[in-house]
Amino acid sequence: MTRHNLLAVFAPVLLMLTACGVNSIPTAEESAKARWADVQTELQRRNDLIGNLVETVKGFARQEREVLTEVTEARASANQVQVTGEQLTDPAAMARLAEAQGRINISLQRLQEAYPELTSQRNFESLQVDISGTENRIGRARERYNEAVREYNTTIRTFPAVIGARVIYGSKPLVPFEAAPESQRAPEVNFSR
């Protein structure tokens, strides 16, 4: 067979193969798989991020609570120590008063030193923003995955690509992301645990 004859035989075969989506099918399938990997990446990001953020916020809240509790307790203790006019000559009564007032001074000093770090409100707000942003990223990744699945499934079901999909690849439709029934409820964020 001559070169011309081989070309005449294989040209229609090549044309049929390109017309039946021989390249578009794996391209669409790989695109859908890549979009699913994006979903997995965002889910892992959420898993890594949220736990760390919650612990960070809890740590700041705990520090803030400790400082404010110390100030409150020192104030209550100081209010219990009373020195009357008759006790002004009693060194023990004056020492108790000085000690109580000293505890207030120390706790207020600690409050002043810690004040720049007392950021629970901002940390909670930041946590809310980060959670919201993470959930939005996951949502967008799922949407892109579902769009890639739709394109792939459409490709393998439409003519002429359906020929290549069935004959060459044995392609099967991909399953789009569907939310679990329990996901219809809003997630609960509980800081008391």
Q: Residue 95 is encoded by which pair of tokens?
A: 């020492």
Say how many CA atoms lie within 13 Å of 82 toward its Cβ.
Answer: 4
Q: Tell whether 136 is covered by a domain.
A: yes
Which CATH number characterizes residue 120's domain? 1.20.1440
Following DSSP, what letter does each residue of 10-48 receive, concatenated?
Answer: HHHHHHHHHHTTTTHHHHHHHHHHHHHHHHHHHHHHHHH
Answer yes or no: are the C-beta atoms of 117 and 60 closer than 8 Å.
yes
Structural domain count, the chain: 1
Q: Residue 119 — pLDDT band, cuts 50, 70, 90?
A: low
For the segment 78-111, what is each residue's pLDDT rounded down to a tens digit? 777 777 777 777 788 777 777 777 776 677 666 6
**What pTM, to 2 d.p., does this model score?**
0.57
Q: Tell whether 1 is covered by a domain.
A: no
Whether residue 91 has a cis bond before it, omega within 30° of 0:
no
Q: Tell whether 71 is covered by a domain.
A: yes
pLDDT at residue 33, as a whole number: 92
**12-21, 25-34, 93-102: which has the minimum mean pLDDT?**
12-21
pLDDT at residue 148, as a whole number: 93
pLDDT at residue 118, as a whole number: 56
Q: Is the pLDDT of residue 112 over 80?
A: no
Q: Is the pLDDT of residue 173 over 70?
A: yes
Q: Tell whether 5 is covered by a domain.
A: no
The percentage of residues in the chain with a pLDDT greater than 90, rounded to a whole number, is 11
